[in-house]
Structure 1
């Protein structure tokens, strides 16, 4: 089979896999909250990417069975029509949540799932959100492994995620510099908030790591090894996410991400801190800082 046949096989596997996943895990309320504009790769489309703090099955970490999951990852992607931008919002950013007063932005997911997260992010930023992608934490590592892993440049990281390996989670030890990560390691790096190598490691560092992983996925996909593994990656990709997007449109979004390149990580940086009514600490972003970040996200 030649290169063209290999690509066509991969495309067919992707469409079959995506069609089998169509609509899974996305509520009607979440779909109704979306603007559904844009048509990648022809016109710009804005996508909200969410990842919850749900623990894996079998985790013995304290609190693993607690209800009320929060969104561990909140990232906006804009692709298609020549657009290519990413904006991560730290989970502890304090914002108005419709019907629930002022709270950390990740609490919107606990209060009302993806639908309330969409409304909260859209209302606060003023950005219309066209589509939703929720990371499937069980299948995401399988997609990374199907790619053959990723390579990312990291700081020194020593961390135990979900209680570490002794409690059903993952322990990672990364040296400063380039590291080759498998699926479980990639997910653990994306979720690291407490780094024993660096006590000052914060949520800002974590959201940068999440954007690094997206860049690493793109690099692996475009490599020779990625081409060889393309059919397996094409089958695994749709199963790593839950989304409102249909198979053909999802292929357009992924094509836009691959073709448009990987923009530098952009994080909505806090301009201060605040104590919440429950005694917890949150981050605040000034209106001017928020508007600058939004303008850059929308206009490049």
Structure 2
């Protein structure tokens, strides 16, 4: 028992050391856009999790962004504390009114104004306060999955070419149907997959579901015996994967809150229509009545 406690303490110390400069990685505009949170565990807290679609330098994918503004590749809200535990994913092509820019896809807010504008946009669109923000650095995400020793993913056949595939300096993913043990590079490619050569019907909603499956698989790995053995490695890698307004204490408090109240079953704000944007592109729409119902479920969860 003492050895187990010592292992946990060691992991916490490593996590705190790795996260010591994390709080300074989110700019002042993003922090100013956040609403004041309540006390951890006893008060409900809304956390916005964003993933950037900035591509690695050296990619040959036509039009890929490797520096400067990029769109958010994944958008998820998590509500924890005060007996609440719920998650709501917003597809990246959902059309919203971006303050100062007008109608556009929700992921464009991050390109126009970073995390701060994403916070303001979603607060206006959903009518909820956002207390904390976490931006996932996808370049470091594979390291986190690898620190866990990989994860087990269950799903259908997947063949996709990310960033143009191997031939264009990107990544080609091939997964058989069923349960497959995947590494960090495969997990990142799966999280970015929108077009699947195995199933032409797969789309952005499928990608959102797969992202949620990846998160759940990571949580399961963390609680497994082999995952526990790797806790110190995971504790070092996790803070390197994200930027946040929270420092080590805040992130540990969030983790403790999730441990007490859970994070709930994932839900997706499913579009029910399409519209042509002012720039000629196509976006997805969500009816106001359905959106209000889903938001209320998220708040009540």
1:189-248 CA distances to partner (integer Å, 9 max, x unpaired)?
A: 111111111111011111111111111111000000110000010111111100000211
| 1:226 match | 227
Give the structure 2 partner of residue 192 of structure 1. 193
Q: Distance in 2 between matches of 1:159 and 1:258?
A: 35
Aligned to 1:28: 28
Stretch of structure 1 that moved more, 277-286 or 126-135: 277-286
- Are the counterparts in 2 of residues 74 and 91 from structure 1 also a CA contact under 8 Å? yes
Number of matched pairs: 299
| Partner residue, 1:144 | 145
Matched, 1:214 2:215: yes
On the 8 A contact 1:39/1:249 being kept in 2, the answer is no
Q: Unaligned stretches of 5+ in structure 1?
A: none
Q: Counterpart in 1 of 2:60? A: 60
**Structure 2 unaligned residues grouped into runs of 5+:** none
Distance in 1 of aligned mates of 2:100 and 2:114: 13
Distance 1:89 1:282 in 2: 13
What residue number does 2:297 align with? 296
Residue of structure 2 equivalent to 1:205: 206
Counterpart in the other structure of 2:157 = 156
Report the Cα distance in structure 2 between the residues aligned to 1:213 and 1:9, rounded to whole angstroms.
26
Matches within 5 A, 1:48-197: 48-65=48-65, 67-197=68-198
The verdict on how the C-alpha distance between 1:88 and 1:78 changes in structure 2, with shifts beyond 3 A counting, is same
Deviations 1:101-130 (A, max 9, x none): 111111111111111111000110011000
- 1:148-194 Cα shifts (integer Å, max 9, x gaps): 11112122110011122233322111112212121111111111111
- Work out the CA distance in 1 between the residues paired with 2:63 and 2:130: 32
Cα offset for 1:262?
A: 5.4
Scaled by the length of structure 1, what TM-score is found? 0.95
Taking the aligned partners of 1:291 and 1:53, their CA distance within structure 2 comes to 28
Over aligned residues, Cα RMSD in angstroms?
A: 1.5
Give CA deviations for 1:71-119 in whole Å, capped at 9, x if unaligned: 1111101112322111000111111110111111111111111111110
Map of 1:42 onto structure 2: 42
Q: Shift in Å at residue 65 of structure 1? A: 4.1
Alignment partners' CA distance in 1, 2:204 and 2:49: 17
2:20 match: 19
Q: What TM-score, normalized by structure 2, do the two folds share?
A: 0.95
SS of 1:279's equivalent? Answer: coil
Tell me the secondary structure at the aligned position of residue 61 of structure 1.
coil
Task: Please name the residue that 1:284 is paired with.
Answer: 285
What is the DSSP-based 3-state SS (H/G/I as helix, E as strand, rest coil) of the residue aligned with 1:59?
coil
Query: Matched residues in 2 for 1:65 and 1:279: separation?
Result: 21
